[in-house]
Each structure stands twice: as C-alpha cells, then as structure tokens.
Amino acid sequence: MQKPHELYSSLAIRNDNKILVLVVDGLGGMSHKDYGYKTELEYANHPNLDRLASRGTTGMLTPVLPGVTPGSGPAHLGLFGLDPISFNIGRGVLEALGIGLAPAPTDVLARGNFCTIDHEGAIIDRRAGRIPTDVCKQRLALLRNIHLPQADIELHAVQDHRFVLRLKGTDLDGNIENTDPGVVGAKPKPARPLIPRAETTARIINAFVDQAMDRLKEQSAANALVLRGFSMMPNIPSFYELYRLRSAAFAIYPMYKGLARAVGMDVIDCGRTLSDQLQTLETHWDRYDYFFIHYKYTDSSGEDGDFLSKVSHIEALDSSIDVLVRLDRAVLAITGDHSTPAGIKSHSWHPVPLLLASPTCRRDGSTAFTETICARGALGNMESKYLMGLLLGHALRLEKFGA
Amino acid sequence: MQKPHELYSSLAIRNDNKILVLVVDGLGGMSHKDYGYKTELEYANHPNLDRLASRGTTGMLTPVLPGVTPGSGPAHLGLFGLDPISFNIGRGVLEALGIGLAPAPTDVLARGNFCTIDHEGAIIDRRAGRIPTDVCKQRLALLRNIHLPQADIELHAVQDHRFVLRLKGTDLDGNIENTDPGVVGAKPKPARPLIPRAETTARIINAFVDQAMDRLKEQSAANALVLRGFSMMPNIPSFYELYRLRSAAFAIYPMYKGLARAVGMDVIDCGRTLSDQLQTLETHWDRYDYFFIHYKYTDSSGEDGDFLSKVSHIEALDSSIDVLVRLDRAVLAITGDHSTPAGIKSHSWHPVPLLLASPTCRRDGSTAFTETICARGALGNMESKYLMGLLLGHALRLEKFGA
C-alpha cells in the first residue's frame, strides 16, 4: 500500500506559503501527584501559546503507535512525514548525524564507548570514568591507521568517552550485534552477524577490534572499547524531492541538526537561545518555504525529573514567541517530538499536544494550549506521520487528489 | 508491514507492574427512546466507575473497523492485541475452546446441532426441542465408532442439542459450507468445499454424516444433525511469547475461558459472581502480571432487549469493584469487547467506552464513565488491537523504539 508520504509527495506543488514547525522536545507530560495532578504544560503560565491556540486548531500526535515510546530519531522522522517504523534510524547513524557526519547509505555506523577492563578482560568501568573529550581524542589517535583489507575505518570523537565508528566499503551490512555486554563484570563480546549477509562486515569489525584492543592495552584506564547500535543510513528522500519545500533547520543540539540534514534541510547557525533561533529565522524568511525550529530544554528538564524546571522552560518559550505571532500568514505548528514527563524521567508513549494556526485553518474554539484541551481539539489524535500532509494542505501546497 | 502486536512484541520487557483488564461483555449501548435517549451506561448509577474515570483517562475502542459488528472471538482477540481480521476464529473452533478442548492447528472443528426431521428429510425442529444435555450425550453415543478411512472424528456434547465435531487428520481444510440450511422446512445440505483444497475434507464429512443419519433415523426426535462453522485454529502466539506477561483469566462462561486459553492464559476457577472473581484474583495477585476478568451479564440482558436489566447489571458491577479501586498501583482498564444495545437485541458496531487508570496515566478531566464522556476522552477512538500496547506502555513494559 502507498505510504502517506508517497501520496503527499505525488500531490505536492510549489507556492509562496510558508510552513513553520516549532518542535518543543519532550513537550507532553503526565499528571503529577505533587502538582494537583496537572502536567507541566497545564501547570505553566503561557498566555502567548494560549492566544495562538484560540486563533487556531488543536489535536494530539501519536509518535509511533499507541503505547510506544519513541527515540529522538523515529520521533522526528514522524514529524517530517516519514513512517518511523519503515524508516528506522539506528543509534550509530544517529550519533554520526549528531556530530555532523553525512553517512552514505553504504556505510556502517556504530556508537563506540571507551571503557576500562581488568587484567582478565572484564569491564570494570563501562564509561572509563567519563574521560574528557581530549583524552578520548588521544585514545582515538592510537587507533589511527589500523589497516583492514576490505574496508576503511573512520573514528570520530563525540564527547567524554563516546565516539563514532564509520566503516566504509562495498557490500557492508549493519545487522550486527552489540559488542557492548551492557553490564560491568562481563567481557566485551565479539561482533556477531544477525543475518548471513552481515558475516563479512562482522569479520572486519572483529579484525579492527582485535588490533584496537592490542594498541589500548597498555593504558591504565580507557584501555578497551565496546561498540553498539550498528546501523546504516536508511534511504531517505529529501524534503525538496518529497514535498517541493526549500527547508531549513534552526537547531542548537547536534543530533537535531543531523536529523534535519538527513532529510535534506539546510542547517542554519542560530546562536544559543530560542530568541536567537527565531531572530535568525526571520533573516532567512525569504530563502525558505519550511522552517524547523528545535527547542531542547523541555526534554532535558523532563529527563531530570524536574517538574518545575520543565514548567519554567515552557514559560521561557512562551515569552520568546512573539516573532511567531507576527508571522501570522504562515502555517504554524507547535508540537513535540514525544512526551518526556518529569514523573517518569524519560521519553514516554503519551501523545503530544499539537497546535496548528494558519489563515486557512478551521478554528475549533480551543481556549488554551494544554494536553487536556488538545485531546479534545478538532484535529483529533493522529500518528505524527500525517502532520506533514496537514501542514502542506493548510499551505495550499497539495493538489486535489483525483478528479 | 509489521502488525502492531509484532512491534509491541519486539519491545516488550518484564517488570513488576501489573495489568488488569475488566471486560464488561456488550458494555456499549445505544440511545433508547423509552429512556430519555440515554444508553444503559448513561442511565445507570455507577459512582465507583465514575470515581475511577475521574482519576484516569477515557476513550473509545472500535472492535474491528467502523460499522463492523464483531462476534465474541474477534472482539476478544482485538482486546488481546491481535488484529481480528488476520486472526479470525471460526464458530467451530470457538465452541471447541468453550468446552475446554485445545484444537491442534491441523484439526477441523464444527458446531453440531441435533435437529428433528420428518419422514421426507425436511427439518421440522432446528433444535430438536432443545433436548437435555443427557439426551444429547445418548445420541452421541449412537455415533461412536463410525469408521472413516482418512481421519478420526471426535464428538463432544456442549449443552442441550449442541455438540462439537472435531476432525483429526493430515492435510484437512476447514473451508467448507454449513450443512445447516438455517431454516425449518429445508433438508440438511451436503458439506460442500469452498475451495479445491477442501474437497477431501468435505468428502470425509459427508461420509460421516451419511452413517450418522443412518444410526439416528429410528429416533422420534433429535433424529438428524446439522453442522456449521467449519474452521481451523489460527496459529496464535501466547501472551508470554508476545508480551512477556504471565497471564490469568477469571471468567465464568466457557467460551471466554477458551478464548483466554487460546492466547496462552491460565484459566483460574473463580466461582459464580464478579465478587468471587475479584476475590480469587486477589489471591493470585503475586503469581501473574496480567489479569483478564470477564463479566457476562451485561451482554445477556442486552441480547434479551432488557434495558433495565442491563442497567441493573451495570449497577451490580459498580458495587463489586472496590477491590479494583484498592489495587491502585496497577494499570487498570475497564471496557467491553463490543456493544450490545438493548434497543438492537444483539451485538453491534458501536464503539465501546474505555477507562484507563494507572499512576502513569495522564488524567484527562473525565467526570464519569459513559459513552458520551469517553467519546471525548483524551485517548480518542482507536481500534481495540492497540489497547494492549497502551496497557504495556502505561505499565512501563515496552522498551523505547529506536534511538
């Protein structure tokens, strides 16, 4: 059956109407018993968001399927109109995107951790004491020029003990088990192929690991490495191919820049605050049709379990969005990629509130931007992968389907 | 594409959080003109259900697809997370499950009825005067040792004039037309194959029926038989394989025990009333992760077209559920398998109200448990097959999807 993005793509046309999506990371919350069973968004004071809701329409997005908690990759692909189950982005690819690499679809990527092992080879510190990034780079330097007959290995420091391994070759396959046993006391495992086609790749990885371990063994700490999240870049069409949209991302954190790059957006340098991001956006207004703005702090404070901090980040956001209110001829969506309730301290499955405002929308009488209001909004509850179609529709950028 | 239960299954993990599902059979109703256009649930007084709704979240379940009225089999499979269109359970299999048989996937099952025919072979009583079960057993004894070269036949009394036929062999196929013409005045029909692959099976059935009719013909009543609902057991994975849940069913009626067994639940003896069921459940609390409780009487009174009786069964249920209120750290769902409006006197297609309460839910301001409130609840309207994911999510029993 045709996927939603294929139908949208077949109908997409160009015009001058702009689309602006503000992704408030981890926006959705959960009733919190210490705060009158309100969510963070219900507890916070956000008159500007409420005003936007009252001149728009609201609903709920289910990132993947009911009950399923998404990682950041699938959650964003959904918002970009791609079915997150078909276009799964692995951990290795996501890390690579996060440091600005542009993996080819033939590369195999993995997330690497330096760890510390004892004289018998058992892991005694899975993060090698979170060595500084500089030490990580020194260790990677030791691993330079490891020669493998059938592929090239690239290693890139990320932060602390973390790095990205990129294997370049022909006929590689990423279906390989983690070498990271995931627990202290166990030894790093060999890379095992999950399917026959990955046997050669697993052999290359193991040849690399053997030589690398040999070069690291003299160190007192960070004297070994483990790999996980072996994966390959899915073949993702670009936003322009798909939707005829010139698109730009205004994100601060590397991973979100990477996700935007993966769908062919231009990534714009935009400072350190939401105000910076929105001001930069204004200066790029004429050059693009679609603007992706990513706001991180609601997710971080949710992950920390800090209800009031998440509330204050929502309120800070609210006080910065007058630019959005000014750009009132655009199709504006404010939503999250997923929920991150402070009460759970992690991503969750709860649907995400969605606010859509545009001159073409059907106002639904929403009086505020909260989960409770959005759950009763006129857009209903839909999977995130339909949002792009809704935005294109409101921007009059989809031709009539059929005669 | 991957089905929801496959995705849920791939993410399922174990923990100590419990899931409890109270299935109120035929719960949903229809506006009734004699009762102020209220449904049975709207007319009934149920303060305990309302209190649970106010500390939870509500929504609607569509058992199969909008407008489709499900039988008990598909309706329950949906609640158990299985797409009822892919996993269709036929009448014969359902009857077999209902009397405690465990059909192999190679068996063909059918529901049999003793009937009374006149001297020309036309049916004059389709239920043979609802002969007592003892007489049914005597008739079945007459049919013992009918020899068929290519398969074994087993016959099991159910109740009154009803029995189950089980054909065991190799290479059998259940795509066979009913021999029951469904009307008085017609003769029983031969078993006809619906597809070429079922020709041999149909021949075996007809050979059995010929010999059986011969042995029954001297009786004055219950002197013939008809068969319907030829079917084979679909290959259903167990609850533990699927969801890593140790599961138990607290049902009184055989068919629901059978459905629970079909997905690998332990079926627990639990008395004759909902209070008995819930008390038995409490004594098994530590041994299981998932508890299925089935309440039948709302469906029976709906089928009888007795609005006020259905109301009183809802009120009786409400007064028995304080145990559920006490178990407040569990993920609790109260819903129906389908609707059975007294105004229609049968199962119907109307979506079924759903109440979900757990410490991890997002309270949505629902003030009562009625169709009208649930239709505006935050969970929205979803196909029943997504309920399992939602429950697993709220029990923190699904790993994050993707990085």
Per-residue pLDDT reduced to its tens digit, A242-262: 999 999 999 998 889 999 999
Q: Taking every pair of C-alpha atoms in chain B, what is the biggest distance, in angstroms?
A: 74
Q: What is the per-residue pLDDT for B20?
A: 97
Residues of B with CB under 8 A from a CB of A: 1-2, 4, 7-8, 11, 55, 359-365, 376-380, 382, 386-394, 396, 398-403
Nearest CB to B363; choose among A31, A90, A346: A31
| Average pLDDT value over all residues in chain A | 95
Q: Say yes or no for a CB contact (<8 Å) between A85 and B7.
A: yes
Among A68, A89, A93, A232, pick the best mutation site for testing chain B contact (most B Cβ within 10 A). Answer: A68
In whole angstroms, what is the distance from residue A112 CA to residue A130 CA? Answer: 13
In whole angstroms, what is the distance from residue A51 CA to residue A274 CA? Answer: 19
Per-residue pLDDT reduced to its tens digit, A196-247: 999 999 999 999 999 999 999 999 999 999 999 999 999 899 999 999 999 9
Q: What percent of chain A has pLDDT over 70?
A: 100
Nearest CB to A65; choose among B7, B361, B363: B7
Instruction: Read off the pLDDT of each residue in A57-68 and give the average, rounded to a whole number.
Output: 98
Q: Say yes or no for a CB contact (<8 Å) between B400 and A371.
A: no
Q: Which of B341, B344, B368 shows the shortest CA–CA distance to B27?
A: B341
Which tokens sit at B2? 């991957």
Per-residue pLDDT reduced to its tens digit, B69-106: 999 999 999 999 999 999 988 899 999 988 889 899 99
Q: CA A359 from chain center: how many Å?
A: 30
Q: Say yes or no for a CB contact (<8 Å) between A30 and B361.
A: yes
Q: Which of A179, A180, A165, A161 shows the shortest CA–CA distance to A232?
A: A165
Q: Which of A204, A207, A254, A209 shows the shortest CA–CA distance to A227?
A: A209
Phi, psi of A171 (to 5 degrees): 65, 30
Q: What is the per-residue pLDDT for A1?
A: 64
* Pairing state between β B266-267 and B123-125: unpaired
Tokens 């990034």, residue located: A133
**B367 contacts in chain A (CB < 8 Å):** none
Q: Say yes or no for a CB contact (<8 Å) between A29 and B362.
A: yes
- Taking CA A402 as the corner, what is the angle to CA A400 and CA A403, rounded to the nearest 5 degrees? 95
Cβ contact A130:A84 at 8 Å: no
**A90 contacts in chain B (CB < 8 Å):** 402-403
Q: What is the per-residue pLDDT for B1?
A: 59
Chain B closest-CA separation from residue A224 CA (Å): 24
Which tokens sit at B59? 């929504």
**B359 contacts in chain A (CB < 8 Å):** 33
Instruction: Read off the pLDDT of each residue in B287-305 and give the average, rounded to a whole number.
Output: 96
